[in-house]
Chains A and B, each alone.
Chain A
Amino acid sequence: MKSIAEILKEIRPEFDFTASQDFISDGMLDSFDIVTLVSALDKNFGVSIPGTEILPENFMSIPTIEALLVKSGAKL
């Protein structure tokens, strides 16, 4: 199983996600990246992140993504 950081790196290899506290404000993830990210997270962690939770604030940082995955039933 890949880590969240590895998945992020695959989607936007040009960025260092460990150096940002807000991926959205820092322009590292746009709405299409979020769609790609959700699809990858769903497959990797065996969940389906609810459509109503696909909001920018849930993808600001690795901790917010972790929280979203746990809420969606993932075992991290």
Chain B
Amino acid sequence: MNFKFRGKRISGMAVVLPERELSFLEEMKNFNFPEARSLKLKEVMGYNKRRVVEPGCCVSDLAVHGLQQLFDRGLLKKEEIDAILLVTQTADHFMPSTSSLIQGRLGLKQDMLCLDLNLACAGFVIGLMQAFMLLEQESVKKVVLINGDVLSRKASPKDRNIYPLIGDAVSITVVERDASNATIHANLHMDGTRAETLIIPAGGMRMPSTPETAKLEDVGDNNLLAKDHVFMDGSAVFNFVQTEVPPMIESLLATAGTTVEHIDYFLCHQPNRFMLQKLADKMKIPYEKMPNNVVENYGNTGSATIPMVIALNFQERVQREKMRVCMAGFGGGLAWASMLMELGAMDFNTTIEYKQKS
């Protein structure tokens, strides 16, 4: 499905990171796996270090801390926020929505929309699309898109498939109208028939959590996890990304009448370094145009990854100049989405650390 937007821009961004850092080298002993093989994997996949929350920390804690910092530093005003869109798969509660909790804790106005979107790694691009659609309404002048998860709390420490790569983070993206009227192209695809490729089987209404769902089971390749944990069929995800993402991006570029050479950067979700390099090879995109350094520094931070790519590589640059970027997210759902837009001349782009109060 193709989309076209005009006159919208990202005016500011922040990423919020928990201060707790884990090292792959220290964690290797958790895996039922020879050290030499883990070290080879570290090199290929980019496993290195990552940030995770302390026990008990929720997405709303990171988001409230980040937004409060922006208010305190005068980068954002409470009364300007007409909508909070929160993209997460690790909500604080089943009910109410976590975006409402954020609104309440920050004392934001009542004349606004709070909406949770249950989306995974395609959630930054899809969240932006929703923000742009809201901004078609005259009454909506500023949308705050929040992306983030605390998925480390749902990962089995005995699952080498997913545990070493999960990072927790939240991004805050301020979206508003823009006088330039530049065209933004986007597309998205969804395939619910492959929903079980990435799933937390227990803990919802279909399979409530019980002592049974907390028991570790061997799911192959010496990985142990429970039904309460996040499960990823790594091979299926890899195949999905390599098969679906290149034609999606090629289609986006063709729709916009442009080519790889005319794009400054490809800002993609980062499951691991190997997967991104294979994508770049397939699309003949030079590695330097597709940064892949988030996963080795912060882990796979879900739908906050694209803002993390921007913060890590272009924090100063996006505040002083514009770049033509193609963003692509892909993951659970399954869902995959891409967007071509001018990014830059932001009012702010900042990184905020979250220190959990004891």
Contact at A52–B221, with CB atoms within 8 Å? no
Given known A-B contacts A51-B241, A52-B239, A32 and B221 have beta carbons under 8 A apart: yes
Given known contacts A30-B221, A31-B221, A51 and B37 CB-to-CB distance under 8 angstroms? no
| CB < 8 Å neighbour of A31 from B44, B235, B279, B281 | B235
Determine if B242 is an interface residue (Cβ-Cβ < 8 Å): yes
| In the bound complex, CA of A50 to CA of B279 (Å) | 9
Residue in contact with B242 in the complex, picked from A33, A35, A51, A56, CB distance below 8 Å: A51
Does B194 sit at the interface, judged by CB under 8 A? no
Count chain B residues whose beta carbon lies closer than 8 angstroms to a beta carbon of A: 21
Q: Give B248-289 as 1s and 0s: 1 = Cβ < 8 Å from A's Cβ atoms.
A: 000000000000000000000000001100110110000000
Q: Is there a chain B Cβ closer than 8 Å to A5's Cβ?
A: no
Does any Cβ of A come within 8 Å of B234's Cβ? Answer: yes
Q: Does B41 contact A (CB under 8 A)?
A: yes
Q: What are the interface flags for B74-86 relative to A under an 8 Å C-beta threshold, 1 for contact and 0 otherwise?
A: 0000000000000
Alpha-carbon distance between A51 and B221 when the two chains are bound, in angstroms = 21
Are B242 and A32 neighbours in the complex by a CB distance under 8 Å?
A: no
B243 contact set on A, CB distance < 8 A: 52
Of chain B, the residue at the smallest CB distance from A47 is B281
A55: which B residues are within 8 A, CB to CB?
A: 239
Cβ of B160 under 8 Å from chain A: yes
Contact (A51, B160) CB under 8 Å given A35-B41, A39-B44: no
Q: Once the chains are docked, how many angstroms separate the CA of A60 from the CA of B243?
A: 21
CB <8 Å contact, A51 and B40: no
Chain B residues with CB under 8 A of A36? 37, 40-41, 44
B266: shortest Cβ distance to chain A, in Å?
Answer: 15
Q: Does B115 contact A (CB under 8 A)?
A: no
- A11 at interface by CB-CB < 8 Å: yes
Known: A32-B221, A35-B274. A54 touches B40 (CB 8 A): no
CB of B45 closer than 8 Å to a CB of A: yes
A54 to B279, CA, bound (A): 12
Q: Taking the complex as formed, is A44 at the interface, i.e. its CB lies under 8 A from any CB of chain B?
A: no
Q: Which of A9-35 contact B (CB under 8 A)?
A: 11, 30-33, 35
**B238: Cβ under 8 A from any A Cβ:** yes
Size bracket of the A interface: 10 to 19
Q: Are B234 and A31 in contact (CB under 8 A)?
A: yes
By a CB distance below 8 angstroms, the chain A residues around B44 are: 35-36, 39
A31 to B238, CA, bound (A): 10
Q: Which one of A38, A48, A51, A56 has the highest number of Cβ atoms from chain B below 10 Å of its Cβ?
A: A51
Report the Cα distance A1→B355, complex, angstroms.
Answer: 50
Residue of A nearest to B44 (CB): A39
Q: With a CB–CB cut-off of 8 A, which chain B residues contact A35?
A: 41, 44-45, 274
**Do A11 and B235 contact each other (CB < 8 Å), given the known contacts A50-B242, A52-B242?**
no
Contact present for B278 and A32 (CB under 8 Å): no
Question: A40 CB to closest chain B CB, in angstroms?
Answer: 9
Distance in angstroms from A32 CB to nearest chain B CB is 6
Q: Complex formed: what's the CA distance from A32 to B238 in Å?
A: 12
> How far is it, in angstroms, between the C-alpha of A50 and the C-alpha of B61 when the chains are bound?
42
Complex alpha-carbon distance, A3 and B240, angstroms: 30
Q: Once bound together, how far apart are the Cα atoms of A54 and B37, in whole Å?
A: 19
Contact status A32-B37, CB under 8 Å: yes
Complex-state Cα separation, A48 to B276, whole angstroms: 12
Interface centre among A11, A39, A48 (most CB of B within 10 A): A39
The complex places the Cα of A45 from the Cα of B243 at a distance, in Å, of: 24
A30 to B281, CA, bound (A): 24
Per-position binary interface string of chain B over residues 101-137, scored 1 when its CB falls under 8 Å from any chain A CB and 0 otherwise: 0000000000000000000000000000000000000
Structural contact, B45 and A33, CB atoms closer than 8 A: no
- Minimum C-beta distance from A24 to chain B (A): 11
B41 near A51 with CB under 8 A, answer no
Enumerate chain B interface residues (CB-CB to A < 8 A): 37, 40-41, 43-45, 160, 221, 234-235, 238-239, 241-243, 274-275, 278-279, 281-282
Contacts beyond the supplied A32-B221, A50-B281, A51-B242: 18 A-B pairs with Cβ under 8 Å? A11-B37, A32-B37, A32-B160, A33-B37, A35-B44, A36-B37, A36-B44, A39-B44, A39-B274, A48-B278, A50-B242, A50-B278, A51-B239, A51-B275, A51-B282, A54-B238, A54-B239, A55-B239
